[in-house]
Amino acid sequence: MNAPDRFDTFLLADGEKKVTEEADTRIPSASTFTFNKEDHTLGNLLRSHLLKSPHVRYSGYRIPHPLTSTFELRIQTDGTLTPRAALQQTCRELVNDLSILSREFTKEWELRKMVGDGARGDEKDGKSKGPGR
Amino acid sequence: MDYGAMDVDEVGPRVVIRESFPDRADFVLENVDLAFANSLRRTMLAEVPTMAIDLVEVDENTSVLADEFIAHRLGLIPLNSKQIEDVLYTRDCDCDQYCENCSVTLTMHAKCTGDEIMRVYARDLVVAEPRPNEWVGNPVITDEAGLGAVICKLRKGQQVRMKCIAKKGIAKEHAKWAPTSAIGFEYDPNNKLRHLDYWYEINPIAEWPVDEKNASWESEGGIQQNGEPFDYNAVPSRFFFDLESIGNLEPDAVVQQGIKVMQQKLAAVLQELAGDENRNGDAGGDGFGGQEPDGMQGGEYGVDQGYTTPYVNPGATSQWGGGATPYGATPYGQSGWNQ
């Protein structure tokens, strides 16, 4: 009856923005970014990768309510770069990592194909003769 | 902006494929963090687009099953989704309801004339020809007899005649669009990190069998109680995936598509953040001063070594293409994998 539409979890509504930034008024170099139509998949990914930056002092995310498909990502930096810049940097690095992963996977898969499906396992296989299921 | 250099990610993610079958891939993902691996898993489970029957027009149904019952079963039949990039989302297409650019039409027409009870199988779905590419929409048939899933049974004189419209979608909307039936996911099989605290009667090692294949893969081998001091700073960095495809996409395609969907998510964020900046710049009052100090970021896009990911809008949204974009023309598949 009043169930939200299925596509509400991934389709932006008219005029809705993917990300909005709200700067913290009391702490310098701190912002809360609100992401719409995203969930833990992106939230946790960004959070954990942001923490790897030496300029990021704090990053955490929360989903304010489980029935709304939105999350808030809070970032505080040491001031050498803005939270927004840190976020952009992180996104770019992740996209880059994913391209590397894509290439690696293609390479490995092609290799595997050449070896032929008959020969399973590889260099470590001697060690792990587990049941193939 | 230099911290990337000192990161362990310098080498980037590594993959070892342990087993590959037409419907299954067993691989180890290394040198990434838990969040990354889990995001990939979640994306492959729920956000990789596939084809599935979404609309059924019932012309005739004199079988014992109700229309909606059969419609539901039709929806769950896996359909080939190879090179799904060629198919538009119906919501992004120009057409009124659906067309050959954003859907595939399958018809099912079966009538039982003999005395025997007749079965209608997935192979009895006839695919109408103008369609986005030569594979998309074919029912997945993997059994030796070449029949596919049973849709319904008919007694003498009963018949079903239906027109099914298959559309592109993701499993977040409905599980019928799922590309995988399961993804096995494990890290630290020997529990060296002690993320698990096993309940046990006498001996946790005897009572909690490990996955031998994964456990022996960890070169450090040893089980946790072998006297070495506990490294409380250690984080998981090796993840064991066992991906099982339903048959609509090959397992490697599921992985590649999952990666692409994640990239598109991140690209959408970048796009939005960049867009905001420009707007702020204008508001700042220097008119068409245009490229603000942040212009450098624009530069960095291009500088990336040989990096070719298309920064396209994720198909789902329409923030800057709108419905009218004929983005079948988007140079999607340029990441070099051909499937």
Angle at B15 between CA B23 and CA B301, to 5 degrees: 110
* Residue A6 belongs to a domain: no
Tell me the shortest Cα–Cα distance from B111 to chain A, in angstroms. Answer: 36
Residue ranges of alpha helices (H) inside chain B are 34-46, 67-75, 204-207, 212-217, 251-283, 295-303
Tell me which residues of chain B, numbers 282 to 321, contact chain A at a CB-CB cutoff of 8 Å: 294, 297, 300-301, 304, 307-309, 316-319
Positions of E strands within chain B = 14-21, 24-30, 50-61, 103-111, 118-121, 125-127, 150-154, 159-169, 180-187, 238-245
* Percent share of chain B, pLDDT over 90: 59
* Residue A41 belongs to a domain: yes
pLDDT, residue B59, reads: 96
What's the average model confidence in pLDDT over B268-276? 88
Question: Can you tell me whether residue B271 is helix, strand or coil?
Answer: helix
pLDDT, residue B313, reads: 41
Distances in whole angstroms, Cα of residue B75 to Cα of each of B78, B121, B166:
8, 14, 8
CATH topology of domain B51-171: RNA Polymerase Alpha Subunit; Chain A, domain 2 (2.170.120)
- Name the residue among B34, B216, B316 with its Cβ closest to that of A127: B216
Query: Looking at per-residue confidence, does B40 or B323 come out higher?
Result: B40
DSSP state of B79: B
Angle at B10 between CA B184 and CA A40, to 5 degrees: 40
What's CA A7's distance to the chain center, in Å? 20
Task: Please say whether the beta carbons of B118 and B112 come within 8 A.
Answer: yes
pLDDT, residue B225, reads: 53
Angle at A40 between CA B241 and CA A75, to 5 degrees: 125
**Predicted confidence band of residue B317 (pLDDT cuts 50, 70, 90):** very low
* Residue A121 belongs to a domain: no
Q: Which pTM was predicted? A: 0.80
pLDDT, residue B38, reads: 96
CATH of the domain at A54: 3.30.1360.10
Tell me which residues of chain A, numbers 87 to 126, contact chain B at a CB-CB cutoff of 8 Å: 87-89, 91-106, 108-109, 111-113, 117, 120-122, 124-125
Give the separation between CA A122 and CA B11, rounded to whole angstroms.
22
**Predicted confidence band of residue B229 (pLDDT cuts 50, 70, 90):** confident
Terminus-to-terminus CA distance in chain A, angstroms?
A: 44
Question: Choosing among B44, B216, B256, B259, which should be mutated to test the A contact, i.e. which has the most A CBs within 10 A?
Answer: B259
Cβ distance B18 to A121 less than 8 Å, yes or no, reads yes
Q: How do residues B11-32 score in pLDDT, each as one tens digit? A: 789 999 999 999 999 999 999 9
Query: Looking at per-residue confidence, does B150 or B278 come out higher?
Result: B150
* Residue A80 belongs to a domain: yes
* Residue A124 belongs to a domain: no
Cβ contacts of residue B143 below 8 Å, gap of 6+?
none
Domain count, chain A: 1
Q: How do residues A84-126 score in pLDDT, each as one tens digit? A: 999 999 999 999 999 999 999 999 999 888 876 554 444 444 3
Q: Residue A107 sits in which domain range? A: 14-115
Q: What ranges do the domains of chain B cover?
A: 51-171, 189-225
Q: What is the mean pLDDT of chain B?
A: 80
Tell me which residues of chain A, numbers 16 to 45, contact chain B at a CB-CB cutoff of 8 Å: 17-19, 21, 35, 37-38, 40-42, 44-45
